[in-house]
Structure 1
Amino acid sequence: MTLPRSVWASLFALVAATIGMGLVVPILRPLSVAFDASPAQTLLLVSVYMVCLGAAMPFTSAVSSRLGVRRTLVGALLLNVVCGVVSSLAGDIGVVICARAGWGLGNALFLATVLAVVIEEAGALSGRAIRYFEAAVGIGISAGPLAGGVLGAISWRAAFLGSATMMLVAAVSLMILLPRAERGPLATGVFAPFRALLQPGLLVLGLASLLYNVGFLMMFTFTPFPLARGPEFVGLVYCGWGLALVFSSTFVGPRVQRRIGTLASFTVGTTGFAVVLVVMAVFADRDAVLVAGVISSGLALGVSNTMMTEAAMASSSTDHTTTSAAYNLMRNAGPAAAPWLAGTLGESLNVHAPFLFGAISAIVAVVLVLALMGREVVAPVVSRV
């Protein structure tokens, strides 16, 4: 069986949209220099983006159920286009931070809705569709730093303008390729995602996702500062990370899952990620180790992301749109302060501290899953995945 055309159209738009997410990483240091901002101030634009992304997630199902998924996806991407243009014209770091807040809102509407569309349209092939979803995110994020590095070598303004262009391409592709869909017969309540989090299985998995994503965001956003290399070099490194993520989520994750199960695969992947962060913490002053650590973390995270998404989407009895909104609230809003915290720890302590803190957070996620996966509240989830 093959995936429907609507799934491939959504995945194509997802790749184009997520390019704008990873594109900002290679220009973080140039932005810091251009605006004479500290690492903590510069990374605040990432944290604000994550706060707005996560805070808007609970309300995405209410919006899409009223507007329809096609209008929601296209409208979200067009909002991102505006924010990208505003960022490219910014005269100080505050304008960029405000624009990234709007960008977070747009991506919240897009990411939660497109995940639900992919799962619904895939039907019995939802497991494969989720793996392709995570792979598409990896492709977009890997291409983003590469594009950011190339355009950032010209100007950080060119990088933001390029991102806005990609968002416009994504919006046009959805208008052409995604079938028109009517609004659902029943509008979803605004508080439905919060009620979904009262289900123990989804809550536990959401907390675990929150914790290991703290480690991921610290590593992902802070590494360019101790690496202290040009945007082209940083872009290539993060492109390598994305390619490793795609390979792992597409080929490695499914094989590990068949052997040991979904949640056990998450445990293995997240433990491996924590080990990588410990090594990066010890050798944070060595460029070769930082480069190898970023790329190898993609292999571990490819397994963790796919397994956790699949488990979370199977853990709730609510509809996919509501479950996606609830899970993404935990996954994105919870660790939103991690980039700012990484910059603060790097400034106030040393360059080793952010990586060590991230490793501890990932280990706590593993302990949480190991402690609760066999208990009665999570046992139904284990049996389904």
Structure 2
Amino acid sequence: MERLLFVEDSALVLKVMRRLVSEASEFEADFAETYAQAEALIQQNGQQYFSAVVDLNLPDAPKGEIVDLTLKSKVPTLVLTATFDEKKRDSLFQKGIVDYVVKENRYSYGYAMKLIKRLQRNHTIKVLVVDDSLVARKQSANLLKKYQFQVVESDGAKTAIKMLIEQPDIKLVITDYNMPDIDGFELVKLIRGKYDKQDLTIIGLSGEGNASLSAKFIKNGANDFLRKPFNQEEFYCRVMHNIESLEAIEIIKDSANRDYLTHLYNRQYFYHITNRQIKYCQEEAIEYSLAVIEIDDFKEFNNIHSEYGDSVLIQFAKQLDKKFGKFITARLNSSQLVAFVWGMSLDDCENQMNEFRAQIKKLSIETDTGEKHLTVSVGLSHSSQMSLRRMLEACGELIRRAQNAGKDLVLYD
């Protein structure tokens, strides 16, 4: 769990921030009211702090000395202050703070927490910066790193195309217009030949004075345009607007691929991504396993306790996702769940499945006639070459054998 540091001498503000942290279950926090308390906490936990939110005016540090302390300790820092001072703000941004928030109302504190959550999500987002100017490229890259993005750099369009192919997890491209090999317009057109706007965001940059550049970039497929020189706040707002738009599209797409009840992948999408993963495993000589999990006697249970059937599926799905969430999990039909795993030996996979089977057996299901327990039978198919269709057929036969043998078993081929 991420750990935060709040430094604030106002009891009211601390009370608000404590409540916001308690509502954000992904964070823990330490609170300090003075520079001395903050210094002691940093000495004790400095490397553990994901971010710091600090007040500029403290009883024992009235001139913003706390910012120097947190930045020196390499803690990304947000400043909360009671007054807006443009010179002071510019000075703090030059020092390296993440943002400057004026304590005008309760929304300001909510904004600070929203920004912290954004920084946490940025850890998983990769951005490619394309610019032939080392100075300009480093300026953009350093700003992105300050906001906790993963950053890769390219000094030209040809290298950028190669990096996109080699690193398909890149979500944002920031490209300059004027480059020697291929200009920014052509690069955008090349990228859009393979990546749709809902898959990859592009922001164009230029220091030239031509007023039509922004329109040309966007008409060629860019999502946005920013004129150089830009300030940190403008750059961050443009980047975040585009990233959040991309995330909103991904949420909609992901919802369409999920089972409405269990929130595991649905059958259709499971086939799609598993076939793709099998192809990759075969190319890289990685062994893989398919486990189909049948809930024993679920039809009979559901006929008698129909109002509890959904609860059973939800509980079982949560356990499956907890156990195999880093792989591919899905709901195949009304009584079957499935997990596709790779890079694991048959023995290890069997052990993991038996652990899962034992966990399910312990689950208590409260019904109107008392506590009930259900079991699962698992068919496990392991291969380095077999197709998904053949593995599903093999698992179906293994489940039939398990149920004929008394159920509550894991059988493998």
Q: Same fold (TM over 0.5)?
A: no
* Higher normalized strand content (fraction of residues): 2
* Higher normalized helix content (fraction of residues): 1
> What interval of TM-score do these two structures reach, taking the shorter chain for normalisation?
under 0.3
Structure with larger RCO (C-alpha < 8 A, sep 6+): 1
TM-score, normalisation: structure 2: 0.23
Q: Which has the larger radius of gyration?
A: 2
